[in-house]
A and B are shown apart, each in its own frame.
Chain A
Amino acid sequence: MRASPADASTAAELRTSHDVSGIVTFSGEAVGSVVLSFPIQTAQLVVAALTGAPVDPSHPLFADAIGELTNMVAGSGKSHLGVTARITVPSVVFGAGLPIQSPSNAPCVLIPFTAPAGEFVLEVNIMSANPASA
Chain B
Amino acid sequence: MNKESPMHVLLVDDSSMMRSLQKRALTTIGDVTFAEAGDGVEALTAISAHPEGFQLIFVDCNMPNMDGITLVKRIRASDKVTPIVMVTTEGEKKRVIEAIKAGANNYIVKPFTTEAFIERVKLTLVLRSIAA
**Does the CB pair A76–B90 fall under 8 Å?**
yes
**Does the CB pair B110–A65 fall under 8 Å?**
no
CB closest chain-B residue, reference A68: B15
Q: Which of B3-11, B78-86, B91-99, B100-108 contacts A (4 or more CB under 8 A)?
A: B91-99
Query: Which of the listed residues B14, B21, B91, B111 has the most CB atoms from chain A within 10 Å of its own CB?
Result: B91
C-alpha gap A52/B111 in the complex (Å): 15
Which chain A residues lie closer than 8 Å to B94 at the CB level? 84
**Does the CB pair A78–B91 fall under 8 Å?**
yes
Which chain B residues lie closer than 8 Å to A89 at the CB level? 14, 62-64
How many residues belonging to B are interface residues under a CB distance threshold of 8 Å? 20
Does B66 belong to the interface (CB within 8 Å)?
no
Taking A52-B24, A87-B62, A89-B63 as contacts, is the C-beta distance between A79 and B91 under 8 angstroms?
A: yes
Q: A89-B14, A89-B62 are in contact. List 10 more A-B contacts (CB 8 A).
A: A52-B24, A65-B15, A68-B17, A71-B15, A74-B91, A75-B88, A75-B90, A77-B91, A79-B90, A87-B62
Query: Which of the listed residues B14, B88, B89, B92 has the most CB atoms from chain A within 10 Å of its own CB?
Result: B89
CB closest chain-A residue, reference B92: A75
Does B20 belong to the interface (CB within 8 Å)?
yes
